[in-house]
Amino acid sequence: MSQILANDSVTWQSTQQWEAMMAVLQGTTDIIAVLPTGAGKSMLAIVPSIMEENMATILVLPLNSLIMDYEHHLQQMDVPYQLYQGGQDEELNTVHNLILTSADKAQTSNW
């Protein structure tokens, strides 16, 4: 993970984070990771979005305040992302591999 993020100070937060990341990187199944705050759930979406070309990672967050937190952290980490705002009539034009949206916007007919 430290190589992918080009940051030697990055470490695994828990054994469960490592196990979930290995499952994510295998890409054979969907992953549901229930981990406490600060246990590294964010990396489970960020790392594949950096590694994969031509594949979108969509992160549906329950609160707009979490989206703002993610935007701040992604900007600090220099990780490209885009925000799905909803109300877009055409198909989502993926510019970056990581797409953030809120749970309410992901329930629209356009989504």
The whole-chain average pLDDT of the chain stands at: 82
Residue 77: the pLDDT is 85
91 pLDDT band, cuts 50/70/90, is low
pLDDT value at position 54? 75
Q: How many domains does the chain have?
A: 1
Q: Which residues does 95 contact at the CB level (< 8 Å), separation at least 6?
A: 82
Q: Are 45 and 25 in contact (CB under 8 A)?
A: no
- Per-residue pLDDT of 27-47, as tens digits, reads 777 888 888 888 888 888 888
Which CATH number goes with the domain that contains 56? 3.40.50.300
Quote the DSSP letter at residue 91: P
The residue range of the domain holding 46 is 2-107
